[in-house]
Amino acid sequence: MEQNRITQSPVVEIDHVSKRFAKVLANCDVSITLNRGEVVALLGENGAGKSTIMNILYGIYHMTSGEIRVDGVRQNISAPRDAMALGISMIQQHFSLVGAHTVTENIILGNVKGRIDYEEAERKVQELSDRYQFGVSAKAKVGDLPVGMQQKVEIMKALYRKCRILIMDEPTAVLMPQEIDTLMEFIRSFAAEGNSVFFITHKMREVMQVADRIVIMRNGRVSGTVSKSEVQMSDLARLMIGHDLEVLSRTSHDERKRAVRLRVDHVSVERKGELPLLKDIDFEIHEGEILGVAGVSGNGQDALCEVLYGALRPTAGRITLDGKDISSLNVAQHIALGIGSCASDRHRYGMVSDMSLSENMMLKSSYLHRWDKRGWISWKKVDRYTQEKIDQYTIKAPDPSVTIGSLSGGNQQKAVVAREVDMGQNFVIFDQPTRGLDLGAINYVHKTILKEREAGKSILLVSTELSEVFTLSDRIAVICEGKIMGIFRNGELTTEQIGMLMAGVPIEDLPEAAGSVRNDQPEGSALQHTGKGDGIHE
């Protein structure tokens, strides 16, 4: 990255800013400078105050003390409209898009007045997409776009408003490898034009790839600022969490010597007048095995998890658990059989924010008579159980009575994982288990998943993070448009080959790579074509 594009002309100065929520000090005396043409990465654990300080800059929160200067002028940013008027835009983790509207309608919403020249607006939107190689159609309906494309629509909204200071909060959480490369290229070209970027992420590789300076935050404070050229990735991890990460190890299993616990036999899900959600899905998971599912968001992963958890009925095929047909059972019956599920969207499916930790911990098992005594809930028993999980999973919560919504994202996820691991005595579904989490929380969740594998549980791991899939999985299934493109033992294909399968490239069209196995291998090899559908199975 060329350093001469950066001028020593501060475009944003956050000066001794503090923010207090009631008794909680979220930011304490934070000072950060962003220069013109510069990319500054913010690193820190969940709850470190990164998003809070950026939400203050964007006008979502109001500072308790301190000041913010833009182009050297003190500003009172009381709402996002004030930030937008200064050329500041923010891409948040949770998108603010209207699914029923087109890409153009979403982008011009709130940005035009009076009579609208829609054709001209559509032309400008398409030019933006083409200029940055986003591949988004201005005419497309947002609700029909995969999550990765929706994120690009959010970026285009900012570009349409001619923003010059862009705040990006965990921008690659929903992208496949090729899309991440495109985003990194966009950030570099955007900064090269004299614009500036605040980049919030927990991914060391991305920081080293795109950032000029790195600001480390801990406990609401800035604990250090370093130049990318001064540090290694291992140094950043230590600076961020205050200690070295625990090295995880995964012992090798021969799953063929272990009993099959879950069998999915040619399962499809189709709705009248719509494209199939799942097409002829066929795989097995053995005891003590992790089957990773790699794919771009919106390619059938959600439907697969819902079918396996009983929230969605298959229209064809059969699902068995330990030889028992569970295809027609409901969610409650799946729970009773010892199946746990960590949903990708914990806020929507995994917890109730306004309820206490104890209430959330007993929600899934309330009807199993685990907590009641003569028809009354034994809250002492529930609280005692919740405190045990707080201690076991190092959840940062003062006691079981606090609302789960008051905790940081990482601690919320730890609570959900603790509950679902306990519920899933036989089979656990982990759908995007570390999305949006920091390094320390990711490390802990990964350690928990591997521990459950060693305990003999069968695990389905769905993740758009290929590094996560490769780290944890025994075998990897690649899904695209509701179809299994192939199932491979971990290490048999490269990241690039897996990425191409995720994009829909057939196995026979993959370029050769050292260590890869193709579907033309002879009988008895690790991979072979079954002749059933499009899957590659062992």
Region 282-295: mean pLDDT is 94
Together in a domain, 212 and 69: yes
| 455 occurs within a structural domain | yes
* Mean pLDDT over each residue of the chain, to the nearest integer: 85
Together in a domain, 389 and 281: no
Together in a domain, 443 and 531: yes
Residue-number span of the structural domain to which 133 is assigned: 3-241
Indicate the range of 18-22, 290-294, 361-365, 435-439 predicted with least confidence: 435-439
The residue among 380, 395, 423 that closes a domain is 423
| Residue 5, pLDDT score | 66
Q: Is the pLDDT of residue 535 over 50?
A: no
Together in a domain, 235 and 263: no
Together in a domain, 127 and 44: yes
| 249 occurs within a structural domain | no
| 203 occurs within a structural domain | yes
Backbone angles phi, psi at 518, to 5 degrees: -105, 165
Q: Show the 3-state SS of 134-194.
A: CCCCCCCEHHHCCHHHHHHHHHHHHHHCCCCEEEEECCCCCCCHHHHHHHHHHHHHHHHCC
- Taking alpha carbons only, the member of 222, 87, 93 closest to residue 169 is 93
| 506 occurs within a structural domain | yes
| 347 occurs within a structural domain | no
Together in a domain, 330 and 376: no
User: What's the start-to-end Cα distance of the chain, in Å?
Assistant: 44
The residue among 402, 423, 444 that closes a domain is 423
387/498 Cα distance (integer angstroms): 42
Q: 331 and 322 in contact (C-beta within 8 Å)?
A: no
Region 452-469: mean pLDDT is 90
Together in a domain, 185 and 277: no
Residue 177 pLDDT class (50, 70, 90 cuts): low
Instruction: Give the pLDDT confidence of 100-152 residue by residue, as tens digits.
Output: 999 999 999 877 777 888 899 999 999 988 888 888 999 999 988 877 788 88
Q: In sequence order, which residues have a C-beta less than 8 Å from that of residue 153 and are 6 or more positions away?
A: 95, 97, 103, 106, 107, 136, 142, 145
The residue among 403, 423, 443 that closes a domain is 423
| Residue 536, pLDDT score | 35
Together in a domain, 364 and 228: no
DSSP structural state of residue 527: -
| 161 occurs within a structural domain | yes
Region 403-423: mean pLDDT is 88
| 473 occurs within a structural domain | yes
Together in a domain, 476 and 369: no
Together in a domain, 323 and 434: yes
Together in a domain, 200 and 315: no
| Residue 398, pLDDT score | 85
- Taking alpha carbons only, the member of 515, 468, 472, 463 closest to residue 491 is 515
Q: Is the pLDDT of residue 6 over 90?
A: no
Q: Against a cut of 0.85, is the pTM above it? A: no
Together in a domain, 231 and 268: no
The enclosing domain of 463 has a CATH number of: 3.40.50.300
| 343 occurs within a structural domain | no
Region 70-96: mean pLDDT is 90
Q: Is the pLDDT of residue 527 over 50?
A: no
Of the two residues 230 and 336, the one the predictor is more confident about is 336
Count of structural domains, the chain: 3
Instruction: Give the pLDDT confidence of 474-493 residue by residue, as tens digits.
Output: 999 999 999 999 999 998 88
